[in-house]
């Protein structure tokens, strides 16, 4: 039986790459191949939406391109199904989107698309009362459950989430994806680490350098998610995809060095 994503994250430091499903500029077979071969451990798939609550300009623009080219939730899920080359994947979509297209419907399609986990960034912020329902629903569909939090979450709630034994907790480091603010991420990561115990901790939002990755790992993160920085590179065309290889390799190196240290 293949290892679950949660187990993988407990045993190795993971580099996770974000891609917007169906964005004509960045959603390419070639890109996924490059990501897989240069050290990415798992993919995070974003479903295009016009209500991108916590996304910055880069991901919002990619959502808009995807929507304009006719990629809705249903089409997005069928596109994920065809992705080859990387075993592990996370579906990243807003709970709003799931409610609009039917929660059970979305979970069912996620299983068909072979993702391990559906992560809703707005679940605990706008739908805190649905926390238990979400965990049950994941169980019903044999999906792993995971939670998105920010540095402005109640400590009591973060500790409670850890007790629900998620595959991982994902800490959004910035107010919005891809927008770097002068926030002491080392401090926030170590506070959260202190609250979640052994739960795998992923961090993301505006990570774009090996130095940041080192800081994340040495502060207590088990893995990093990189999104906007990757999209920006791919938007640069063939030249950008070439650069992507060394970019990913650099991040991976920082990730593993932090691990050894």
Partner 1 sequence: MVKLPRKWYNIVPDLPRPLPPPRDPEVGDFSRIEILPKLFPGSLINQEFTAERFMEIPGDVLEAYSKVGRPTPLARAKRLERYLDTPAKIYYKREDVSPTGSHKVNTSIPQAYYAKSEKARTLVTETSAGQWGSALALACALFNLKCLVFMTRSSYVQKPYRKTLMSLYGAMVELSPSDKTEVGRKLLEANPQHPGSLGIAMSEAVETVLKNSDAKYAVGSVMNFVLLHQTIIGLEAALQLEENGEEPDIVIGCVGGGSNFAGLSYPMIGKKVEHEAFERTEFIAVESEASPKITRGKYLYEHGDTAGYLPMLKMYTVGRNHVPPAIHAAGLRYHAAAPTLSILISEGIVKPVAYSQEEVLEAGRIFAKTEGIIPAPETAHAVKHVIEEAKACRRRQTPKTIVFCFSGHGLLDLTAYEKAN
- Contacting residues for 129 by C-beta, under 8 A, at least 6 apart: none
Whether 94 and 120 have beta carbons less than 8 Å apart is answered as yes
Q: Is 22 in the site for partner 1 (CB under 8 A)?
A: no
Q: Cα dihedral sign for 102, 226, 136, 156? A: negative
Q: Does 221 bind partner 1 (CB under 8 A)?
A: no
Site for partner 1 (CB under 8 A): which residue of 10, 28, 103, 126?
126
Asked if 203 and 41 touch (Cβ cutoff 8 Å), the reply is no
Q: Check residue 152 for interaction with partner 1 (CB under 8 A).
A: yes
Stretch that binds partner 1, among 24-32, 95-103, 148-156, 225-233 (CB under 8 A): 148-156
Instruction: Establish if 246 lies at the interface with partner 1 (CB under 8 A).
Output: no
Residue 62 CA neighbour count, 13 Å, CB half:
27
User: At closest approach, how far in Å is the CB of 14 from partner 1?
Assistant: 22
The whole-angstrom separation of Cα 30 and Cα 111 is: 24
Kindly indicate which of the ranges 1-9, 86-94, 95-103, 154-162 contains the residues binding partner 1, using the contact rule CB under 8 A: 154-162
- Binding status of residue 128 toward partner 1 by CB under 8 A: yes
Shortest spacing between CB 126 and partner 1, in angstroms = 7
Closer residue to partner 1 in complex, CB, 54/141: 54
Of 137, 139, 41, which is closest to residue 90 (Cα–Cα)? 41
Known catalytic residues are 44, 55
For the window 78-97, what string marks contact with partner 1 as x by the rule CB under 8 A? --------------------
- Give me the least distance between CB of 135 and partner 1, in Å please: 17
Please tell me whether residue 125 adopts helix, strand or coil conformation: helix
DSSP letter at 176? S
The answer to whether residue 153 forms part of the interface with partner 1 (CB under 8 A) is: yes
**In terms of Cα–Cα distance, which of 99, 158, 100, 163 is closest to 134?**
99
8 Å CB contact between 144 and 111: no
Say whether residue 51 binds partner 1 (CB under 8 A).
yes
141 binds partner 1 (CB under 8 A): no
Is residue 157 near partner 1 by the rule CB under 8 A? yes
CA distance 208 to 9: 21
Q: Which residues bind partner 1 (CB under 8 A)?
A: 50-54, 56-57, 124-126, 128, 149-157, 172, 174-176, 179, 181-184, 187-188, 191-192
């Amino acid at each position: 039986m293949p290892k679950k994503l949660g187990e993988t994250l407990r045993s190795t430091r993971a580099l996770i790459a974000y891609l917007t499903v169906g964005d004509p500029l960045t959603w390419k077979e070639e890109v996924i191949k490059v990501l897989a071969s240069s050290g990415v451990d798992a993919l995070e798939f974003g479903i295009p939406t016009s209500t991108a609550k916590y996304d910055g300009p880069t991901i919002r623009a990619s959502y808009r391109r995807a929507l304009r080219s006719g990629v809705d939730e249903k089409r997005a899920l069928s596109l994920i199904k065809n992705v080859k080359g990387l075993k592990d994947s996370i579906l990243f979509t807003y709970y709003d989107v799931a409610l609009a297209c039917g929660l059970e419907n979305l979970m069912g399609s996620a299983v068909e698309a072979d993702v391990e986990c559906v992560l809703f960034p707005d679940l605990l912020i706008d739908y805190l009362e649905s926390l238990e329902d979400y965990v049950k629903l994941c169980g019903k569909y044999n999906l792993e459950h995971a939670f998105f939090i920010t540095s402005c979450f109640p400590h009591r709630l973060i500790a409670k989430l850890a007790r629900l034994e998620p595959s991982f907790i994902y800490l959004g480091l910035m107010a919005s994806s891809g927008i770097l603010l002068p926030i002491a991420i080392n401090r926030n990561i170590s506070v959260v680490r202190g609250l979640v115990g052994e739960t795998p901790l992923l961090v993301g939002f505006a990570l774009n350098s090996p130095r940041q990755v080192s800081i994340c790992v040495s502060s207590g993160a088990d893995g990093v998610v990189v999104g906007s920085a990757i999209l920006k590179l791919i938007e640069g065309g063939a030249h950008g995809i070439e650069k992507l290889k060394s970019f990913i390799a650099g991040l991976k190196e920082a990730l593993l060095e932090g691990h050894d240290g």
